[in-house]
Each structure stands twice: as structure tokens, then as C-alpha cells.
Amino acid sequence: MFPLLLQVGVTLLVVLLMMWGLARVIRRPFGLRGNDALAVLGTQQVGRGAAVAVVRVADRALVIGITDTEVSLLVEHDLEAFLTEPEEEHIPVDLDGGELPGRHPAATGGRLEGSLLSPRTWMSAVDVLRERTARPERTARR
């Protein structure tokens, strides 16, 4: 009985190893690497079944529209326009003797105003819950 169980276990292990190896070969064949000339730079969903993607092909960027039934070229553009990162907006701060910027001058309330730590936020949340859970007064029947 034991030799039969051992033989079945070894056979099952060999079959599972063969399946694992075959799955690896199918995913990425030996000797073939990813193509650096073709890459998806970004995608954006524009609807339930539609998206727009920017694809790099060699030194060009193709903007394509993708739907459930077709892929169409929208525009072809220079690659540099999509590879440069937008400049970040920097707020100048004088740290040599000036103070760090605080809250906006037009802001009302304290520094916690509008945050989760503000008592006013919690009071308004409780008020909303009271209004939702309060039972309406019954009107008298005629």
C-alpha cells in the first residue's frame, strides 16, 4: 500500500512541475526579452467601455482610442512631449527671519477648522445623524 501511495505522490509531483515549467515557457519564451521600442506610457478611462492610451513606438508617441470593439489612432506626436514631467509650482518661503506661512488670511475659525480634529466637524456630523434618525411626528387622523 505504501509503495503505491509513494508512486502516486511522485507522479503527481512530476506532473505539477511539468505544468509549472510549461506555464513559465508560455508566459515568456526563452531568449525573447521585452521590446524596448514598444511601451504603454499611460492610459485613461473615458467611459464604461472606452479608454485613451499613449503608446511609445520607437521615437514616436501614438495616442490611441480603445473601445470594446476596436482600437483607433487618434493622433501621432513627438515622444518628448510625453516624457517631460510638468514643472512643479513652488511657493517661495523666506526662512531667513520671516515666519512660515500659516492659514489663509480669508479663513475663518482656528487651524483645525474643517479637519477631522475640529470639534465643529464632529458637532455637524452628530447633527446630520440626528436629523436622519429622528422620527417624524405623526399627524392626527381625522
**Tens digit of pLDDT for each residue in 99-141?**
555 555 555 666 666 677 777 788 888 888 888 777 665 555 5
What would you report as the CA-atom Rg of the chain, rounded to the nearest whole angstrom?
A: 32
Is pLDDT larger for residue 38 or for residue 142? 38
How is the chain split into domains, by residue range? 1-33, 38-83
CA angle 11, 28, 25 (to 5 degrees): 20
Note the residue count of the chain. 142
pLDDT at site 126: 84
| Burial (0-12, 13-18, 19+ Cβ within 10 Å), 63 | middle
Asked if pLDDT for residue 4 goes beyond 80, the answer is yes
The answer to whether 61 and 76 have CB atoms below 8 angstroms apart is: yes
Confidence grade of residue 18 (pLDDT, cut at 50, 70, 90): very high
Mean pLDDT over residues 17-41, rounded? 76
Q: Does pLDDT of 72 surpass 60?
A: yes
Residues 79 and 61 sit within 8 Å (Cβ to Cβ)? yes
State the pairing for strand pair 71-78/60-66: antiparallel
Residue 25, helix vs strand vs coil: helix
pLDDT for 90 equals 62
